[in-house]
Amino acid sequence: MTNIHIPVSVLNLAPIREGQDSKQAIDEMIDLAQSVEKMGYKRYWIAEHHNTPTLVSSATAILIKHTLEHTNEISVGSGGIMLPNHSPLVVAEQFGTMATIYPGRVELGLGRAPGTDMMTANALRRSKNDSVFTFPEDVKALQTYFGPEDQQGYVRAYPGAGTNIPIYILGSSTDSAYLAASLGLPYVFASHFAPRFMEEAISIYRSRFQPSEYLDKPYMMVCLNVVAAETDEEASFLSTTMRQFSLNVVRGSRMPLQPPVENMDQIWTPMEKEMVMSMSRMTMLGSKEAVREQLSAFQEKYNVDELMAVSYIYDVEKQKRSYEILKEIVDGK
């Protein structure tokens, strides 16, 4: 029997909407966190992006701390920290400090992409060497920093040691699946923008998973776009904000989150449409019944352990309603 009654979580890139400034975007990030917490969502993750004037998620750890301060129970984490941009020790100290202040609520999702263009990545890098290749060792270093103090070397994270902060491996290709499996860690696939390798990555992770002190069996999470509304027609209209967001990625343009439009064909070319639709094909879109059917079909095929949703919806209240509809679906309402 297909199980759609699974935990659901939220990913927020903290976009700036047309007509907003950064402070308003951060305030809305907090407002959404408070709303989904009341709905019963499991976790709320914030991304890392740099040199992107339409997203305010550059100082991810600070935004996580801000969100923890303004919520009560929901787990808050990174989706994710792009580890090549950071020293593992600094990450351990930052997240260890947050876990000390907010015990049991801090999570660390780790990725190995730069989260930006190569010129900005070079400005961020902690050394001249490409630390993408040291990603597995850096993950293991973090596991050590968060582990028992008596098992660590001379360099330790204070606070951090003994906090056992949950670590998740994020990815959009098969490389991350191999790593998550070998380390026995939970795996999160970014199918909301890179669905091409999702099926293969899920298969690799499950087939090669090695039980660890952290997990005795695979824990597979998939991030999907979700645009749910009262009717299919309304959801289709609202989704044009997401389509425009993806189109801006294709074009390399830096526009804030745009209001929905009646006709995307007046905005994109046929080739751009094909690229955008390919990028965003892992999207749950429509009324409650339509999304329920789509989720059921998805679960029948992939049977993931948890769904993480990202909703690029311009109207804040309609965005909240979209998350509310999704939660009602997995709760069987």
- 252 within some domain: no
pLDDT in tens, 192-251: 999 999 999 999 999 999 999 999 999 999 999 999 999 999 999 999 999 999 999 999
> How many structural domains is the chain composed of?
1
Q: What is the CATH number of the domain that holds 101?
A: 3.20.20.30
pLDDT in tens, 85-132: 899 999 999 999 999 999 999 999 999 875 455 666 666 565 555 555
The sign of the torsion formed by the CA atoms of 264, 222, 87, 102 equals: positive
Name, in order, each residue with C-beta under 8 angstroms of 203's C-beta and a sequence gap of 6 or more.
none
72 touches 102 (CB < 8 A):
no
Parent domain of 184? 8-227+283-330
85: closest CA among 107, 65, 104, 110? Answer: 110
- 248 within some domain: no
pTM of the model: 0.94
- 48 within some domain: yes
- 276 within some domain: no
Residue-level pLDDT at 193: 93
Q: Taking the CB of residue 60, how many other CB atoms lie within 10 A of it?
A: 25
Residue-level pLDDT at 97: 98
- 235 within some domain: no
- 63 within some domain: yes
- 199 within some domain: yes
- 267 within some domain: no
